[in-house]
Amino acid sequence: MRQQFSYSKKVLKHFRNPHNLGKIKDADGVGEVGNLSCGDVMKLYLKVKDDVILDVKFQTYGCAAAIATSSITTDLVKGKTIDEALAMTNKEVIESLDGLPPIKIHCSLLSVDALNEAIYDYLNKNNKKIPEFLEKKHQRSVTLEKMEGHGA
């Protein structure tokens, strides 16, 4: 039996007309995450100058909630410092979309995880200090990829 749930108007708006959709060819940081159980895959690209996110784009393969959370995440972090972006939570993503059905909460986690991975990539490429909590998140992400068969 198919489960019924409804999306907020904001979720539907971001799904139908996603903001910052696409790829940054010369990105300073790229993060890719996925969820094997639902099939969602998110890739997030950052353009950074003086530790400020100047541009951010995403490519997402997934449901309406996955696309909407990716879209709103890019809106929320554009113009923010790396530290401000690292402080963002999935709760902020959910609230910015006026809520998500409980079964779709994992989509907001994926968008924040993709952002964190892109920031990790940026910091790593530029030999900048990686906060301990971000290193732990990255290691957990790499471990999950290997367990799911995506890693090297």
Q: What is the pLDDT along the chain (152 residues), one digit of tens a residue?
A: 445 578 999 999 999 999 999 999 999 999 999 876 777 899 999 999 999 999 999 999 988 999 999 999 999 999 999 999 999 999 999 999 999 988 888 777 889 999 999 999 999 999 999 999 999 989 877 666 655 554 44
Residue 1 lies in a domain: no
Q: What is the dihedral of CA 55, 96, 30, 42, to 10 degrees?
A: -130
Given this model, what pLDDT does residue 3 score? 55
What phi and psi, each to the nearest 5 degrees, are found at residue 48?
Answer: -125, 140
How many CB atoms within 10 Å of residue 52?
14
Residue 30 lies in a domain: yes
CATH number of the domain enclosing 60: 3.90.1010.10
Given this model, what pLDDT does residue 151 score? 47
Given this model, what pLDDT does residue 1 score? 44
Q: Which amino acid is it at 76? A: L
- Cβ partners under 8 Å of residue 62, min gap 6: 38, 39, 40, 41, 42, 107, 110
Q: Which domain holds residue 62?
A: 9-148
Which residue numbers are catalytic? 38, 107
Q: Is the pTM of this model over 0.85?
A: yes
Residue 37 lies in a domain: yes
Given this model, what pLDDT does residue 51 score? 96
Residue 2 lies in a domain: no
Residue 3 lies in a domain: no
Angle among Cα 117, 121, 122 to the nearest 5 degrees reads 120
Given this model, what pLDDT does residue 108 score? 76
The number of residues in the chain equals 152
**C-beta of residue 119 within 8 angstroms of C-beta of residue 77:** no
Question: Domain count of the chain?
Answer: 1
In the block, tokens 């809520």 appear at 99
Helix (H) or strand (E) holding 139: helix 132-148
The token duo for 74 is: 């890019």
Given this model, what pLDDT does residue 114 score? 95
